[in-house]
Amino acid sequence: MVSIGIEGHESKYGFGGDEGNPFIYLHESPYIDFCTAHPYPDESWANLTSDKAAELVKAWIVDSDKVGKPFVMEEFNTHSNKTEYWTKNVQMLEENGGDGDLFWDYNDNRLSDFTMLHGDAELINVFLPHAK
């Protein structure tokens, strides 16, 4: 299966400006199997609250439905308040018919603020119940 792998930046979403990557137009391609976006809400260029980030996920799901393709929230994470952001994002995904998600990044040593290690609270309290 093929995806575009874009972050979902588009001025209509209030996320990342407008980099010339129109979400709907690109995902309408018959060569693309599913829609994707990469929410990084607490980056300095995004600066989204957890509620605004969850609304963004819902907007992507709605637009994915418009093109008739599944939505996968790829490569998502935050620098801080992971439990709050993750909880709201996965709840929005579940409640609005999102089709999958992949957090960034699981590793055996902490490389950055994004690194998740075996036993981290977010994996146990948010991602594991969501995965089930």
Quick one: pLDDT at residue 14? 86
Q: Which candidate, 51, 92, 50, places its Cα nearest to that of 71? A: 92
Farthest-apart Cα atoms in the chain, separation: 40
Residue-wise pLDDT for 83-99, tens only, equals 999 999 999 999 999 99
Angle between helix axes 82-95 and 50-67 (nearest 10 degrees) is 30
CB 63 within 8 A of CB 23: yes
Residue 114 lies in a domain: yes
Residue 99 lies in a domain: yes
Quick one: pLDDT at residue 125? 94
For residues 35 and 33, what is the distance between their CA atoms, to the nearest angstrom? 7
Residue 16 lies in a domain: yes
Tell if the pTM clears 0.75, that is, is over it: yes
Residue 51 lies in a domain: yes
Quick one: pLDDT at residue 24? 95
Residue-wise pLDDT for 27-80, tens only, equals 999 999 999 999 999 988 888 999 999 999 999 999 999 999 999 999 899 998
Residue 40 lies in a domain: yes
CB atoms within 10 A of CB 117: 11
CB 73 within 8 A of CB 60: yes
Q: Which domain holds residue 43?
A: 11-131
Residue 54 lies in a domain: yes
The H or E element that residue 26 is part of is helix 23-27
pLDDT band, very low/low/confident/very high, at 103 (cuts 50, 70, 90)? confident
Quick one: pLDDT at residue 18? 75
In the chain, how many domains are there?
1
Quick one: pLDDT at residue 19? 77
